[in-house]
Amino acid sequence: MRKPLMAGNWKMYKNAGETTAFFEKFLPLVAGSAHADVVIGAPFVNLPAAVAATAGSKVEIGAQNLFWAKEGAYTGEISGPMLVGVGCKWVIIGHSERRQYFGETEETVLKRTLAALEYGLKPIVCVGERLEERESGSTEAVLKAQFDGGIAPLSDAQFGLITIAYEPVWAIGTGKTATPEMAADAHRYLRSLVAGKYGAEAAAKTRILYGGSVKPDNVKGLMAQPEIDGALVGGASLDAVGFASIVNF
């Protein structure tokens, strides 16, 4: 069975002090939560505070992006080795906000994923369709293009180290969650793409998270779907008590 992964994506929220305060409240609430892995994706500058606050706990820390070069004249960028150096274990790649506002493409998703793997970070690779794509019936075509371009060039060994997050863009930050059935349909489709490229065993092992307005009151229905292996949670991960109740669905 796939162990659930409950991941928070803090986006551009919280300063260092708020980061520490969050974990003081949050850690005791999830200390006994052996059923799930727990990750928080914090802003770059607060990664040291997050790593320090979670030392010795079950919670691991992730970044929300990385650049693919090891080092160099890339003003404003952060590399994989820099993230590893501050104790970061995970990295979110290809989030729809990065695709929408920062020119992320399948090609750059792939480059970032390869770099993350090269330097020992665990990538959470995001895919998902926009509202007009869902309404025009092209959800599967969009997911296939994202999978083919951003994920399928990975080798079997590389693929075995990634987590996929299905995040329908129309459900992110809007309060409109996909119904558990809609999410499960998309997960089933993604898993069929994985099976086609990497085989049935890899498909059975891969964790596919759902993201998009996951809240304490809808997480149970989503997690009741065998296809849904965890959640990538934005807004509701900012509150310690709320996110703990999501982790402990």
Q: Which residues are catalytic?
A: 95, 167
Q: How many residues interact with ligand PGA (rule CB under 6 A)?
A: 13
Sites for ligand PGA among residues 4-23 (CB under 6 A): 9
- Our finding on whether 216 is near ligand PGA (CB under 6 A) is no
Query: Is the Cβ–Cβ distance between 79 and 67 less than 8 Å?
Result: yes
Binding mask 173-202 for ligand PGA (x = CB under 6 A): x-----------------------------
Among positions 113, 163, 206, 213, the unique one binding ligand PGA when judged by CB under 6 A? 213
- Taking the complex as a whole, the smallest distance from the CB of residue 232 to ligand PGA amounts, in Å, to 5
Alpha-carbon gap, residue 187 to 232, rounded angstroms: 14
- Our finding on whether 211 is near ligand PGA (CB under 6 A) is yes
Among positions 93, 115, 234, 240, the unique one binding ligand PGA when judged by CB under 6 A? 234
How many CA atoms within 13 Å lie on the side-chain side of 52? 10
Between 79 and 122, whose beta carbon lies closer to ligand PGA?
122
The helix/strand/coil state of 40 is strand
Q: What are the two backbone dihedrals, phi and then psi, of residue 228, each rounded to the nearest 5 degrees?
A: -100, 120
Task: Please count the helices (runs of H) and the strands (runs of E) in the chain.
Answer: 12, 8
- Our finding on whether 150 is near ligand PGA (CB under 6 A) is no
- Taking the complex as a whole, the smallest distance from the CB of residue 156 to ligand PGA amounts, in Å, to 27
Alpha-carbon gap, residue 60 to 52, rounded angstroms: 11
- Our finding on whether 128 is near ligand PGA (CB under 6 A) is no
In total, the chain counts a number of residues equal to: 249
**Cα angle value 182/96/91 (rounded, 5°):** 105
| Contact footprint for ligand PGA (CB under 6 A) | 9, 167, 172-173, 211-214, 232-236
